[in-house]
Amino acid sequence: MEFNKDFFEDEIRNGFYIPGIMKRCWAAAIEILLELDRICKKYNISYYIDYGTLIGAKRHGGFIPWDDDIDISMNREDYNRFAEVVEKEIPPELNFNSLEKSRDYGNVIACLGFHDVSLDDKRLSKYHEFPYMIAIDICINDSIAKNAELEKLRESKIIVLAQLVKKVLDGECSGKHFEKTLKLVESKLQVHFNRKEELKPQVYRLLNKYCKEFEGEKGRKDLYAWIPGALQFKQYYYPQEEVFPLSSISFEGVSFPAPKNVDKILRIEYGDYTTPNVSGGAHNYPYFHRYEKNLIDIAGGEDKWHFRYRFKKEDLEHEKKENIRDMVFSVLRSLGQQEEAMKSREEDYSFLQNTLADIQNTALTIGNTIEQRLGENTETVALLSRYCEILFQAYEKARQGESPKAELTDLKEKRLECEKTLEKEWKKTMLILLDKAKHFSSIEGFYRKMLEREDWEVLLMPIPYCYRKGNGALMEEEIDLENFPKSYTYVDYKAYAFDVMMPDCIVINSPYDSNNMVQSIDPFFYSENMKKYTKNLVYIPWFVTKEIEWAAEEDGKAIVMMDYYVCQPGVAHADHSFVQSETVRKSYIEKLVEFTGEECRAVWEKKIIAAGSCLLGQEEELTRHILSCIDR
């Protein structure tokens, strides 16, 4: 399946941050689902998307933003037919696994996918550059017993088995207490577990046997259930008239089978599913985190893997250099010291002549520098010419043995006038780097506010970016120049001499540098490099999220996702990062302290500023905070 390239970019959905690597995970899962769909259509096998995937389709038109897998359901009869044909139909990179196929398989849910980490070019290309293992879950619904008493008996057996399932899942498979539980279950269920074999597959094989107990004529055809739900006292009963005939539903732009009555099925499973609920904390989310070490090993080790930021305390340091404007003002102000020295020795005519000659040369150099930068006929250069005339008059008096007291006073007044005029003519420069046109709204309001300032020249510079392959290699560079608003003027990044211009402030909108697995701006514009060319490196996020409260269980997954945009080099290298609220600021700080150590807390307290966002209509507040930090 073809996706638009921007599908794979980091995105905010429902206030939740979704990194590009998760988008690749989603796309790979859809690719596998399409393969399953092809097989089911070929053999007239019924299945439908279910659980979180069905909620996502109904409520979001695709994945739930904080979900990382795909769930489907089949009735047992359809599943049996699927299991018979799937392995001869799937391509070689995919694997089908189930309790029926493998004695070592430890789950009542079957799965289809690939079960290894790989940087194979063909696989990456086919499955949207996603290198991790991934599979879709196949949940099997079974018929309910025609005899209600037999159904109660099955449920009671599963509840007994649940004692053992919990211990197995918790890893409590040894000790006297466990052996006591094991014997009790064996006694009640009249079964025996082989102590020499892994216990988990044995437990699930027994559970699967109970699930299939009323296949065929023993079971009802009008009512099926997800039998393993009894393990958690959550039995889901599905009236078949609400499931069949199947309907269809759009999921990330693709039509897939769904139950006839989607609303009814989701209310059976979740009750009120219409209100998003980021439940479950951050346990094992996202699932592919646990396989990152495997991927790093395959890539050749840590030295060749650049997508996890390795923080260094030196990254917090910023050696700030004066630009030409600073130097001009510094030299111009230093003339005042020489003026004061001449006043204190106004009858030392030899000293006065030498000093006045030095000042003359300095003033000429200043004038030439201003003309090179601002062009000819500036008011400042005209004032400097008048300043030089006064210097000459003072020099002539000193040469003739007269005190140039009045001229020295005039020099100070004219120099101060030069400084004031130069402040207006030679404005401080702010350079705003823009990678994606669609992110411009996060910075446009601030830009417009800065245009109102008489003391700043503000430049917009679209910069190149590119996507990455699954192995990290950079693809061809692109630039969004044509997609930015035509009402503004933009600077050509190829023609801008950073080492000469040295803007007073550089604003970045992307914090990732080389650490995003899916995309990258041109490496020249990485924050680590940009701070060499400015005294003030400012980071304004291109997004806002929901309010994230540190340590709140319901924000567990959102806090995990902060790895992808908070624990990033741009946040460390920037002198200040301006975030949407005080609540989010506190979460940033705690996340960064967790990442870098408690000894860095004071630094983050200074660097992270709650300033609002243009996306929330708070450009005035944002501008005020940024200018305040720059002035300090």
Query: pLDDT tens digit string along 366-411?
Result: 999 999 999 999 999 999 999 999 999 999 999 999 999 999 999 9
Distance between CA 102 and CA 342 in Å, rounded? 96
Assess whether pLDDT exceeds 80 at residue 234: no
pLDDT on residue 631:
81
- Please name the residues in contact with 3: beta carbons below 8 A apart, sequence gap of 6 or more: 27, 128
pLDDT on residue 281:
63
At residue 174 the predicted structure's pLDDT band, cuts being 50, 70 and 90, is confident
Highest mean pLDDT among 132-141, 192-201, 223-232: 132-141
- Stretch 271-294: mean pLDDT, rounded? 84
Assess whether pLDDT exceeds 80 at residue 282: no
Assess whether pLDDT exceeds 80 at residue 154: yes
- Please name the residues in contact with 444: beta carbons below 8 A apart, sequence gap of 6 or more: 485, 614
- Asked if 603 contacts 572 with a C-beta cutoff of 8 angstroms, the reply is no
SS3 91: coil
pLDDT on residue 173:
84
Assess whether pLDDT exceeds 80 at residue 418: yes
Q: Which of 238, 219, 227 is nearest to 143 (CA)?
A: 219
Q: What are the tens digits of pLDDT across the range 474-486? A: 999 999 999 999 9
Q: Which of 108, 30, 90 is nearest to 63 (CA)?
A: 30
Bridge partner list, 538: 507, 576
Q: Which of 606, 612, 604 is nearest to 587 (CA)?
A: 604
- Please tell me the pTM assigned to this model: 0.91
pLDDT on residue 279:
64
Distance between CA 205 and CA 207 in Å, rounded? 5
- Cβ-based burial of 43 (10 A; exposed 0-12, middle 13-18, buried ≥19): middle
- Stretch 470-474: mean pLDDT, rounded? 91
pLDDT on residue 280:
61
pLDDT on residue 208:
94
pLDDT above 90 coverage of the chain, percent: 88
